[in-house]
Structure 1
Amino acid sequence: MSDGENLASYPTSSRNQVKRRHDRGFYDHETVHRILDASMMCHVSYVIDGQPYCTPTFFWREGTRLYWHGSSASRMLRNQSSGQRVCLTVAHLDSLVLARCGFNHSADYRAVMAFGTAYLVTDVEEKERAVIAMVDRFFPDRTAGLRQSNTQEIKATSFIAMEIEEASAKIRAKGVADDEEDYELPIYAERIPVRTVLGAPEPCSRLLPGVMRPETLNGYSEGRLLEDALRDAYFLQYPTR
C-alpha cells in the first residue's frame, strides 16, 4: 500500500457505518482493500422492479474501483448496465467459536460491504484491459502465453465496474469471549480455526509432452493459504495499488 492509501478512508454515512459493535468497524482503505484482495468471489446485491437479488461472481479491484464480469445475456449485467445502485460484499470465515453459553457462541470473521453505482464497461480500451485483468489479476502474466480470446468470446463477455463510494469492514478476531463468571464453569470451550488451503495441483490429463507448469504459478503451491496466494498475485499485478 502507498502512504496515501494508508492514510485514506472511505466516508461514513448511515448506509455503511457499523451500527452494532462499533469497535469492529473499519473504514480505512488499507483494511478494506486487504480483505477484498484476499478473495476472488464476491456477492453483488441489487434490486429489479422491487425484487432484491444477490449474485455470486468473480471480481477484482483496481485502486478504488471494482470490476466483475459475466455473460452478456445475464440478468445481473443487463440490469446493472444503466447505472444501478449496488452493494458488493466479501466475507472470510476465520474460526468457529464454542463458548460456555449458547449466547456467546460465535465466529471470527472479516467482511466488507462496498457501495456504489454500477456501470457497463463500454470503453474499448477499458474493456480490453478488463479482458486481460480478469485472468492476470489472479495469475500474473498468464494471458500473454494463452490463445487469445476471439471476437465472439469477447462479445459474449461483459464487464461491470463500480467506483467505491462508501465501504466498511467488520472484523471479529477475539476467539472465546465468555461472561467473566462463566469461566468458573466446568464446560469445555474452544476456537476452531478455519482456513482455505490449496491442494496439490492436478495437471490436465491431455497436456502435450514437454508442457511444464510455469514458474508464475509457484504462488499457488500445495499447503499455501488461498488468501495469501491471491494477495501476492494482486501485488505482482498492481504493485503500487
Structure 2
Amino acid sequence: MLSKTKRTEIKKGAHKAVFDHEQLYQIIDESMVAHIAIIEESGPVVIPMLAWRVDDNVYIHGANNSRLLRNLKHGGQTCLTFTLFDGWVLARSAFHHSAHYRSAVVFGQFEQVNDNSEKDLLLNHFIEQIAPGRTQDIRLSNPKELMATMVLKLPLTEASVKISNGEVNDDTEDLDVPAWAGYIPYQTKIGPLKADAGLADVIPKPDYSTAYGERWSKE
C-alpha cells in the first residue's frame, strides 16, 4: 500500500488513484526516465534523467559536475515524475477527448552513494535491466570512471500513482452524434538490434528480448 500524505493526495480524477506498490514499480521500470525538479537562484528547473529502481529505491547517475546532481546531493526536497502514454481516447464531443496513461509522482530527498563498490553494483544492475547478461561481455567501469560518476539514491516512501484507462465518457445527449468514438492505442516497440558500423562480423548478436516482453520487436 502506497503512503498517503498531503503531497500524494490526488484531488483531480481521484478515482484514477492506485495504491499498489507493484504498479509504482512497473511504471518506473518501464519508463526509466524521471523528470526531476530543483530550485535554482533563477527559479524552478525540471530536468529529464535516466533512472532505475532496485527494490524500494530509485537511482540516478551522472558526472560529478552535473548541476542537477550537485543540487540534489545535499538532501534538498525534490519531486520526480514518471509518465507512460498509452493512447488517445476519441469521444463524440470535443470536451470529452482524453488520453490513457500511467503516471507516478515521487517525493523525497536524495542521498549520495559514496562507496565505489556499491556504485559499481548499482550501475551494473542498471545495464542488466537494459540488456540482460551484458555485463558478462563488456569491460566494466574502472576506479577512475567510478570516481568521476555520482550516484544518488531516493527511497520510494512517498509516492502517488494515477492510471487512466477508462471508457469513452460521452454525455448521454451526445451518444447519437454520428461520429466515430473509440481509442488510438499508443505502443512503444523496442528493437530489433542495429549493429555499430565498426562491429566485427564474428561477434554474435545477443538476445535482450527478455527485458521487454511484448514490447520487443523482431522485425
Superposed pair shares fold, TM > 0.5: yes
Residue in structure 2 matched with residue 10 of structure 1 by the alignment = 2
Tell me, yes or no, if the aligned pair for 1:116 and 1:166 is still in contact at 8 Å. Answer: yes
Residue in structure 1 matched with residue 84 of structure 2 by the alignment = 92
Residue 181 of structure 1 pairs with residue 173 of structure 2: yes
- Runs of 4+ displaced beyond 4 Å: none
Alignment: residue pair count = 217
Residue 152 of structure 1 pairs with residue 140 of structure 2: no
Residue 219 of structure 1 pairs with residue 210 of structure 2: yes
The alpha-carbon deviation at position 151 of structure 1 amounts to: 3.2
Matches of 1:153 and 1:178 in 2, distance apart?
Answer: 56
Residue 143 of structure 1 pairs with residue 135 of structure 2: yes
Tell me, yes or no, if the aligned pair for 1:70 and 1:158 is still in contact at 8 Å. Answer: yes
Deviation string 1:11-61 (CA, Å, 9 cap, x unpaired) is 111101111122100122112112112122121112234721111111111
Question: Which amino acid letter does the alignment assign opposite residue 37 of structure 2?
Answer: S
Tell me, yes or no, if the aligned pair for 2:100 and 2:163 is still in contact at 8 Å. Answer: yes
Matches of 2:19 and 2:42 in 1, distance apart?
Answer: 30
- Runs (5+) with no aligned partner, structure 1: 1-8, 229-241
Could you say what secondary structure the match of 1:31 adopts? helix
Residue in structure 2 matched with residue 101 of structure 1 by the alignment = 93
Matches of 1:53 and 1:138 in 2, distance apart?
Answer: 28
What is the TM-score when the length of structure 1 is the normalising length? 0.83
The alpha-carbon deviation at position 107 of structure 1 amounts to: 0.4
Question: Which amino acid letter does the alignment assign opposite residue 225 of structure 1?
Answer: R
Question: Which amino acid letter does the alignment assign opposite residue 70 of structure 1?
Answer: G
The alpha-carbon deviation at position 224 of structure 1 amounts to: 4.1
Tell me, yes or no, if the aligned pair for 1:27 and 1:167 is still in contact at 8 Å. Answer: no
Residue in structure 2 matched with residue 44 of structure 1 by the alignment = 36
Percentage of matched positions with identical amino acids: 33
Matches of 1:165 and 1:40 in 2, distance apart?
Answer: 18
The alpha-carbon deviation at position 141 of structure 1 amounts to: 2.5
